[in-house]
Structure 1
Amino acid sequence: MAATTRTNWAGNVTYRASRLERPTSVAALQQLVAATPRLTALGSTHSFNEIADTDAVQVTLADLPPLLEIDADRRVVRVAAGMTHAQVAAGLEARGWALANLASLPHISVAGAVATGTHGSGVRNPSLAQAVVGLEVVRASGDLVSVDASTPDGALDAHRVALGAVGIVTTVELAIEPTFQVATTVHLDLPWDAVTEQFDAVVSDAYSVSLFTSFDDRGARQVWTKHRVVEPAPSVDLVALGARRADGPVHPGENDAASVTEQGGVPGPWSERLPHFRSTFEPSTGAEIQAEYLVPASSAVPALEALRPLEPVFAPLLIAAEVRTIAADTAWLAPSSGRQSVGLHFTFRRDAAAVADAVERIEEVLAPFDPRPHWGKVSAASVERLHEAYPRLDDFSALARDVDPIGRFRNAFLARLLS
């Protein structure tokens, strides 16, 4: 395919690739990989940095045949890597099955979400990558190999969040469970003193909880509580703590609330409640830039308090900031690897220079709390800092060199990170 001007979903990255390839079979992908000196997999374009960019060839799996094979005995589903979570969720729900969790956007591809350590929320819910029990990947040679728990040397945990560095994933096996229902309730304007004094109680009060803030006097201007209906009802009285229950649907940012999944405490399938946004709508402004940092759960309140003085910096720039909990992962490069975590997410207006300044300020403030940047979002962290934040990054670099000695999958992002 001839090169045209293409950007990521948000429009803040213009891809430099000489061409975009769209193989229609795994065999064609294998041939393409073996014959192409350098290439980079492109997911659903929802990354905000250059992790999926290259000056060589990009390849999308969007034209590979959809696949959704359920092994009920193993409680595993095998899916095509280029499918979106919306497609997978709908297919599972129709057959009476579920994933344990989903990201706020169902629009993102399964492989892209896994490769970057994307997560949802919940004190018991690790990142989406932790659900991976096996995968198939095209290596630099063009060979198709399988990786699962029986593969030696912790290879599965190395491949769960692999940044595109060890090959192009074609299929993913995910752990599943019987379908379940969730009800979402939203409260507004939970005061800061309640946020800081009752943080652990609030975020652990339901299956999935998200707090949205602008770091101004409104405190947590929205608290989204997603209750798994077979479990005990939430017990923290947010109204008694100073919040008020929303009297209608609300959007966490600036768009019409028609795009959000149903709120108001109405039970519905996990697939239509765990995401914040409906797959049939554009979920946000599009013209935005996102950053996110995961800190140890024990540092959540000090980190929030340290960020509050930046409110004048955020005021003209911040669309929404979300606070979520993530359980510890075993994946080497998951931002929540080895530790119970809290994610501090920032959606900014698409002003690259202003966002760069804001991100530097955020990272300075969060430095005492050992923040780990999200792999698919913008960050000012140096390579040295990333190696400090991710203790297995050196091991991963060695693995990437071993399986791709010629650097077929290296782009500028990986060349800097894994040098």
Structure 2
Amino acid sequence: MSRERTFEEEKAYLYRDAKQKQTLHIKKGFVPGMNVAGEVFVNDALEGLLLEELRGFSSKKGFGGFLPAVKQVANVATLPGILGKSVGLPDIHADLESALELGGDWLLRRGYAWTEDKEHCEENGRMLTADPSKVSIRAKKRGLPQMGTLGAGNHYCEVQVVDEVYDEFAAKKMGLEKGQVCVMVHSGSRGLGHQVATDALVVMEKSMARDNLNPIDKQLACARIASQEGQDYLAAMAAAANFAWVNRGAISFLVREAFAKVMQQSPDDMDMHVVYDVSHNIAKVEEHMWGGSVRTVLVHRKGATRALPPHHPLVPSSYQLIGQPVLVGGLKKQQQQQQQQQQQQRQQQQQQQQQQRERQQEPLGGTQGSSADAGGFAR
């Protein structure tokens, strides 16, 4: 059995020559069974992205569901009857563009999600205003190897148990019951989304100077919504939101696969349905009542989620009677009890300290007088 090639060994099958600088050539042998050579039309930036895809794939550091574009072109070259060359156009790279545009639909088309999953996602798992062309090459390079990953910080994938049910009706609608095992996932658009914001800040600094916008805090950098900078950012941010849904959906797929392997049951038999998926760092155009009339506004939510009431048109049909689920990371009973005990101890200490201060302030006589009287008790 032959060993897998390193990135440098893979790269040896790719080259650009002086006569055709706009073409990245793929030699036969790059993948087994190639009948013809391959080529991709590139510039320097796109070539860098294609090589980054290949590097991530070769290093096995995790490449999500993306097959490097050069591998896709080479695989096509193995088809019987192919003539000439297998040719890739500049928008081919790793199908990432499609994921940024389609969001949850990208998962569905590839069998990574169930049809009902998107019904239980905010925006049905897809922002229609997304424009992948507004996402920089650098942001895409950061996102490529991170699909299906949690990231650091407060992100987690945690097995949890339903300890208590406070509303039987709502719990039943969500498919939850006491003692049930659940998995909660907290992750987002990873490095891609961070880079989208970083890129936008640079652009917005220039637009603020032009439009004479002077926010009190540099972290409040902004652009007018209707400006080109504002529209470009909203389109790029929507693409990042779509990537976040793809990322969480990929993690959900892996969770289902892991449970199926361990429990020897299908995810469907175990009823591993998505309760709800909601964004908590996003800006969205919405309609709200303001001043007695319906207005179209841009709502910014930072570390916050929407919480729609029952019968709201954007709430899934299965949740119409209870409203949108609002997911909050819970604690084990033991942790809750410890926190309660600590809180009670702090309250007791505060009460004791307060009582001690009051005793120190009390006069030694039977009546409380003025400050002059208090001075007399010091003798």
TM tier relative to shorter chain: under 0.3
Structure whose alpha-carbon radius of gyration is higher: 2
Q: 1 or 2 for the larger relative contact order (CA 8 Å, sep ≥6)?
A: 1
| Higher-strand-fraction structure | 1
| Higher-helix-fraction structure | 2
| TM-score, scaled relative to structure 2 | 0.26
